[in-house]
Every structure is written in C-alpha cells, then in structure tokens.
C-alpha cells in the first residue's frame, strides 16, 4: 500500500468512494431511524453535499489536506484533515476506506499519516469524530485503538 498526496485528478474517484462508503449510513441507518421528514431536512441531499464537500477538502493555502491510500493502483481509501496552527490543533475531517480494503489496516495507516503531517505542521492535539450508531462502530474502535479518547455527545432530532 502506498500513501500519497491528493491531485486534482483524484476528485471524481474520492467523491465516488465517499458516496459508496456512507450510503449505508444514510439510507439504511439514518433514514429509518429518524423518518422521512427529518431525513429530508437534515440529509436529504447527502450525495450532493458530499460532492461539494469533497471538492473543498484539499486547500493547502487554508491548511486543509488530503492523502490517498492506493493498493496495486486501486484506491483503497483517503483521509482529509485540517490544521489550525494558532491553536496547535488538527481535525480529521473525513476518513473513507473502500469496502474491499476494510480490515486491512488502511484506516490506521491513513490516520497515522495524517497525525504525522499534523505534528509536522505544529499541531499538538487532534480531534476526530464519528457517529455513535452501529454503522460507525468500526470507526470508534479504530480511533480508540489509535489512542483517542471518546467524549460522549448526544444529538436529538424531532419532527415538528
């Protein structure tokens, strides 16, 4: 596996990977959990939201970066992060690993790469978040294995 920096040619494959990775959460987990009314307002355009978000992830002039993992020239996953140099804080914005490459330490390698890059840019602390539902359980296990401390947070939705 090779980890490399983002290039503009990566935008379409990263967007596709992001949508494929998170489709089960939005369609199979979140939508049934909150119902159609809340889903439509909160995440009804989730695919388009990701198309916009992924396009803005890599902006080094704004301290935002993306790195990709490739395995035999196939996209295995990617991580996006940002650094606030004045606060000495990094944030992992998104981590996505292709279904075929999960459970092969791709997420670990990508996070460790991002953490090293953040340290090199002066960050002393990193924030990385995920959901508390079953879909996100592997992410929680990964982040805890990397030494991250979970902070409980509960978000509620209600149709009015």
pLDDT at 73 over 90: no
Note the pLDDT tens digit of each residue in 83-92: 999 999 999 9
Domain boundaries, the chain: 2-145
Instruction: Classify residue 139 by its DSSP letter.
Output: H
pLDDT given for residue 157 in this prediction: 87
CA distances from 44 to 28, 37, 147, 154 (A): 13, 9, 34, 21
- The SS3 of residue 7 is coil
Say how many CA atoms lie within 13 Å of 1 toward its Cβ. 19
Among residues 80, 81, 76, the alpha carbon closest in space to that of 102 is found at: 76
CATH of domain 2-145: 3.40.630.30
Note the pLDDT tens digit of each residue in 107-145: 999 999 999 999 999 999 999 999 998 999 999 999 999
């Amino acid at each position: 596996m090779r980890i490399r920096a983002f290039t503009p040619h990566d935008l379409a494959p990263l967007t596709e990977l992001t949508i494929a990775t998170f489709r089960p959460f939005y369609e199979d987990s979140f939508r049934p959990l909150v119902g159609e009314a809340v889903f439509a307002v909160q995440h009804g355009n989730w695919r388009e939201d990701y198309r916009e978000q992924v396009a803005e992830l890599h902006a080094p002039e704004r301290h935002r970066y993306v790195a990709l993992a490739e395995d035999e020239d196939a996209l295995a996953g990617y991580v996006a992060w940002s650094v606030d140099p004045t606060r000495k804080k990094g944030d992992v914005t998104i981590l996505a690993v292709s279904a075929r490459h999960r459970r092969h330490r791709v997420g670990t390698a990508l996070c460790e790469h991002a953490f090293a890059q953040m340290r090199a840019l002066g960050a002393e602390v990193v924030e990385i978040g995920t959901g508390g539902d079953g879909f996100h359980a592997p992410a929680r296990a990964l982040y805890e294995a990397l030494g991250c401390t979970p902070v409980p947070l509960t978000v509620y939705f209600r149709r009015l």
